[in-house]
Structure 1
């Protein structure tokens, strides 16, 4: 029988108080200079969640790491790494993609985003699922617009696969070799199909409790296709705070993004209650996620939920409630 709680009982009680009754299956990690605490409600710590667009944070780290390795530079274009030489999108730079400033849409019209969104709402189906070749076919139909801050799943899909090409590998291998394995992330993977899901993979639900298909797909991985356990996310958070993760420059804000916010490589930085918070969130058909870092205090929080209702407010509340480092 699935336990009501697992891990740190005090954190589990706090998580339940923050999230219930809407979020019945969730997990959290709290990282401070003194300790790392993890807890789950409604499932075990070994269960894996879809982290959604926190995947972009992973890809941002890989981007900064690739620059440090000399494999790419910020002005490298997509056509230098992917077979897009004759397409307008081939002129887009990696830097503009990493900062959501490429002029690319959230999704290309060739992907029929409206039809897919309606199918998600009505039937809970996966709106993604393309492989890399299908993604590139879609990319060849796109004409970038005016460079300005505009959140783009499509852009981060292309960025991740371009970085993999620069390293002469695929995105799944790049993630494992440069982040998951070195940091000891026990479960951090990118299923291309439902056949690749672990036994511990949770099924997400809508806000009303209706089951949603897993968001799988080779193309999706760099922008929203990563699954992870709360233990893996805790280890990532600890490495980011301690400075042992690759590509740490991704966290540094380098451009304005929205009112009061600045962006690095995917990672957003804002001021909350007098504290500088670096964060990202994620959402899929059946999951929500949030990760936040107070780098000055050396503290971080992750919340993962198997329900598609936002956990952003709860994440900020938990993080800003932690004591600052002396």
Structure 2
């Protein structure tokens, strides 16, 4: 696939100053442009990781390793607690009844440290995450975004495949698609020298988000080029589990529908399938217009949303 410079034609006032990168895939070519973002810099893609987990879940269903009606306790040691009785399919569509975060003492303090000191609030091991989950109640099953749900979904799929989540990403997504930069660091010590620090809205360097538990919901790192190659694989259907992009249920009224993690929204008459991401110092967006054969990727080292830029690239004003 050809790689060439992209002339950014959208109105993107949020992209000045701090490191950022944009890629557009169209007509078999990938075009990129960036500012203060080296080609080999690894960025945090945040909750775009949920989109990856959605693909891995759908791929595992197609392999016969899991089924949407499987209970979480069939794959993780959660028997005897409320979360153990939710289904993998409900987790994949954010309708399990699990809260956004575990309901445990000290969670408010983590949010405070994130806001005040740009600290990573999600550095739990898998064992710690499971212990928190056992103490968490499950509410009414309805559409409600859950980081906890996707953390558990990814680890359940990995357990069913007899590996770790990091290993699952490597073996079933990164290696087959040639995404050499992709990895899921469990600790800061696992970060490579090319990991680029993000920045808070107030200009403070943000602590990197690493954590074994976090991985499936927000822990993957990538270069801009590899994230563009991932978007191209979504577009041409070569990504494993690409059926995850098909919207099968409403998520936020009739305007937003959901597949396995991936959202589909009509923007200026275009059906855009997408996921965004945010960490303590990064924002990201990956979207595809499959009818038009066009994909867009945006990353920026800040906590200010880049969604509008991504949508404008796919559905020009």
- For Structure 1 versus Structure 2, the TM-score category normalised by the shorter chain is over 0.9
Q: Call closer, same or farther: CA 1:25–1:85 in 2, change over 3 Å.
A: same
Q: Following the alignment from structure 1 to structure 2, what is the Cα–Cα distance between the partners of residues 144 and 45?
A: 43
Residue pair 2:296, 2:313 contacting (<8 A) in 1 also:
yes
Partner SS state of residue 36, structure 1: strand
Tell me what 1:4 maps to.
none
Q: Residue in 1 aligned with 2:178?
A: 184
For residues 16 and 210 of structure 1, the distance between their equivalents in structure 2, rounded to whole angstroms, comes to 26
Aligned equivalents of 1:209, 1:279: Cα separation in 2: 28
Look up the match of 1:35: 29
> Does 2:72 align with 1:78?
yes
Q: How many angstroms does 1:34 deviate by? A: 3.2
Distance 1:243 1:216 in 2: 30
Residue 168 of structure 1 pairs with residue 200 of structure 2: no
Residues 240-261 of structure 1 deviation map (CA, whole Å, 9 limit, x = unaligned): 1111110011000011100310
Contact kept, 8 Å, 2:283 with 2:302, in 1: the verdict is yes
> What is the deviation of 1:29?
1.1
Mean Cα deviation higher: 60-69 or 78-87:
78-87
Give the structure 2 partner of residue 303 of structure 1: 298
Q: Deviations over 1:82-108 (max 9, x none)?
A: 111111111110000000000000001
User: How far off is 1:39 after superposition?
Assistant: 2.4
RMSD of aligned Cα (Å): 1.5
State how far apart, in whole Å, the 1-side matches of 2:263 and 2:252 are. 10
In the alignment, the residues of structure 2 paired with residue 254 and residue 15 of structure 1 have an alpha-carbon distance, to the nearest angstrom, of 31
Cα deviation digits, residues 121-171 of structure 1 (max 9, x gap): 111110110001001101111121100000000000000000000001000
Unaligned runs of 5+ in 1: 1-6
TM-score (norm 1): 0.93
1:114 and 2:108 equivalent? Answer: yes
Alignment-derived partner of residue 320 in structure 1:
315
CA contact (8 A) 1:16 1:41 kept: no
Does the Cα contact within 8 Å between 1:111 and 1:138 map onto a contact in 2? no
| Residue 275 in structure 1 maps to residue 270 in structure 2 | yes
Equivalence for 1:3: none
Query: Equivalent residues in 2 for 1:242-257 (5 A)?
Result: 242-257=236-251
What SS class does the counterpart of residue 251 from structure 2 fall into? strand
Contact in 2 for aligned 1:29/1:38 (Cα 8 Å)? yes
Partner of 1:213: 207
Q: Which runs of 5+ in 2 are unaligned?
A: none
The structure 2 residue matched to 1:289, chosen from 273, 284, 289, is 284
Q: Deviations over 1:219-278 (max 9, x none)?
A: 000000111111111111111111111001100001110031000000000101111000
Matches within 5 A, 1:52-201: 52-110=46-104, 112-201=106-195
CA drift at 1:198:
1.3
User: Quick check: 1:266 aligned with 2:273?
Assistant: no
After superposition, residues 229-248 of structure 1 pair within 5 angstroms as 229-248=223-242
3-state SS, counterpart of residue 280 of structure 1? strand
CA contact (8 A) 1:18 1:314 kept: no
CA–CA distance in structure 1, aligned partners of residues 204 and 9 of structure 2:
26
